[in-house]
Amino acid sequence: MQLIGAQQEVMVSSVFGTNTIEGGALTKEETTKALQLPQNAKGETELRATNIRPAHDEEDQAIRLPIP
Q: What is the dihedral of CA 61, 17, 40, 45, to 10 degrees?
A: -130
Q: Is the pLDDT of residue 1 over 70?
A: no
Model pLDDT, residue 38 = 83
Q: What pTM value is reported for the model?
A: 0.73
| Per-residue pLDDT tens over the stretch 26-56 | 999 999 999 888 888 888 888 888 888 888 8
Model pLDDT, residue 29 = 93
Mean pLDDT across 18-23: 91
Model pLDDT, residue 44 = 85
DSSP 19-46: HHHTT----HHHHHHHHH-GGG--HHHH
Alpha carbon distance 68, 66 (integer Å):
6
